[in-house]
């Protein structure tokens, strides 16, 4: 990817280039050992904090970098080129920052955004439930008003940053059935809440190693009324849908990053590996695979940047974000499988990174809305348009 082709200001360009150097010099040399050990990358996360990446989407006046969506997404592509799990540390953290920056009261923004931007607080999103995640309007977790507080009861599943994170955006039902009955809360983990905010055991996953994912159970978890995002009940569905638009751009960018790593590794291998007296890149079957990978990666990047640009203009981008995430995630599953094919038998071993890319890729097809749901989102958006 040539940054000269993108309309980035000097500060945004410098940030993307800084992250690219960080990935090349510090992430890629250490990722294989960390991933195979399923070890949390404490030192790398600390370096991300030093670089200010926890505050990418936080406005400057609250201590963040104030990156626009395009630069924000490009950083996620670069991080995922190094290790998708590392980008995952920042993914739902960024959604929480977005919810507070866009919908929070001034008191909420002042209290939490500076601490999120500095990395003192590490955020997550508690949305999905054991009974389902795609049907957000039917969520069952409740938040009952009790004096000057709310009491939360229910269970959430597949929560990233459950153990290392310290604060979560929790979507719960404060009213009747349907989307209008949902509200979003900021819930901070504290020793006093340990008995009512319960972390489940980390799930064993195909990929996405090094980053714990588990359930969160709320059993009479009491939070002050000031934790209701925006200070008004019934706004949670619209708030979280806005957050998911950003999340889908984020996932599309991550998918491009992983696919790009598969392409770069496969291209290097194809130039070195010799069969029938010549490098395998000179065999048409291999060359065509690389050509398709490069073309589809470029197309996916254009899709997510277009969605990001629309969001930066203050326009709704549900259609564009869904298209970007759908195409990029599907592309990534193909590209990583082609990477294994190009590497042959070696690609199926853990001696090469392409097997990791292949294991990580399926997450993109189910994260931030399954691809089946996104096709429905896209179709409905098209139906709303004028002929």
- Is-contact 228 304, C-beta < 8 A? no
Q: Which residues are catalytic?
A: 368
**251 backbone dihedrals φ, ψ, rounded to 5°:** -65, -40
Q: Look-up: residue for tokens 């992983």?
A: 258
Give the span between the Cα atoms of 264 and 337, in whole angstroms: 14
Based on the number of CB atoms within 10 Å of its own CB, is 371 exposed (0-12), middle (13-18) or buried (19 or more)? middle
* The two structure tokens encoding residue 80: 């995922």
3 state SS of 216: strand
Considering only CA atoms, which of 176, 187, 170 is closest in space to residue 236? 170
β-bridge pairing 123-126 and 167-173: parallel
Q: What burial letters (b/e) apply to 14-23, b meaning 16+ CB within 10 Å?
A: ebbeebbebb
124 DSSP β-pair partners: 168
First CA to last CA distance, the chain: 36
**41 backbone dihedrals φ, ψ, rounded to 5°:** -85, 65
Q: What burial letters (b/e) apply to 139-163, b meaning 16+ CB within 10 Å?
A: bebbbeeeeeebbbbbbbbbbbbbb
**Long-range CB contacts for residues 286-292, cutoff 8 Å, separation at least 24:** 286/342, 289/338, 289/341, 289/342, 290/263, 290/266, 290/342, 292/334, 292/338
């Amino acid at each position: 990817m040539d940054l000269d082709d993108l309309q980035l200001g000097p500060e945004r360009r410098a940030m993307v280039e800084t992250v690219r150097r960080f990935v090349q010099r510090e992430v890629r040399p250490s990722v294989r050992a960390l991933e195979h050990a399923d070890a949390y990358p404490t030192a790398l996360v600390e370096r991300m904090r030093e670089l200010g990446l926890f505050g990418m989407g936080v406005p400057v006046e609250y201590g963040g970098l104030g990156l626009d969506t395009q630069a924000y997404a490009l950083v996620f592509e670069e991080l995922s080129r190094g290790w998708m799990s590392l980008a995952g540390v920042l993914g739902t953290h960024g959604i929480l920052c977005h919810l507070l920056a866009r919908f929070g009261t001034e008191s909420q923004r002042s209290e939490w955004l500076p601490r999120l931007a500095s990395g003192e607080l590490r955020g997550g999103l508690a949305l999905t439930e054991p009974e389902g995640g795609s049907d957000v309007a039917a969520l069952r977790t409740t938040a009952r008003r009790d004096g000057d507080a709310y009491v939360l009861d229910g269970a959430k599943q597949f929560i990233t940053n459950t153990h290392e994170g310290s604060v979560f955006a929790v979507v719960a039902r404060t009213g009747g059935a349907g989307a209008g009955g949902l509200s979003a809360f900021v819930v901070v983990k504290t020793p006093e809440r340990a008995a009512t905010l319960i972390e489940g055991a980390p799930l064993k996953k195909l990929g996405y190693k090094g980053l714990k994912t588990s359930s969160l159970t709320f059993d009479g978890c009491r939070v002050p009324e000031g934790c209701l995002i925006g200070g008004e009940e019934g706004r949670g569905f619209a708030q979280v849908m806005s957050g998911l638009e950003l999340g889908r751009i984020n996932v599309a960018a991550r998918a491009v990053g992983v696919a790009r790593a598969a392409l770069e590794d496969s291209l290097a291998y194809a130039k070195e590996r010799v069969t029938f007296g010549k490098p395998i890149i000179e065999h048409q079957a291999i060359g065509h695979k690389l050509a398709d990978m490069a073309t589809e990666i470029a197309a996916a990047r254009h899709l997510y940047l277009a969605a990001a640009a629309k969001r930066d203009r203050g326009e709704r981008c549900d259609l564009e974000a869904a298209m970007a995430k759908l195409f990029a995630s599907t592309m990534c599953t193909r590209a990583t499988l082609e990477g294994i094919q190009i590497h042959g038998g070696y690609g199926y071993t853990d001696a090469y990174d392409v097997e990791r890319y292949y294991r990580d890729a399926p997450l993109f097809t189910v994260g931030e809305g399954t691809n089946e749901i996104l096709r429905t989102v896209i179709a409905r958006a098209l139906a709303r348009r004028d002929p």
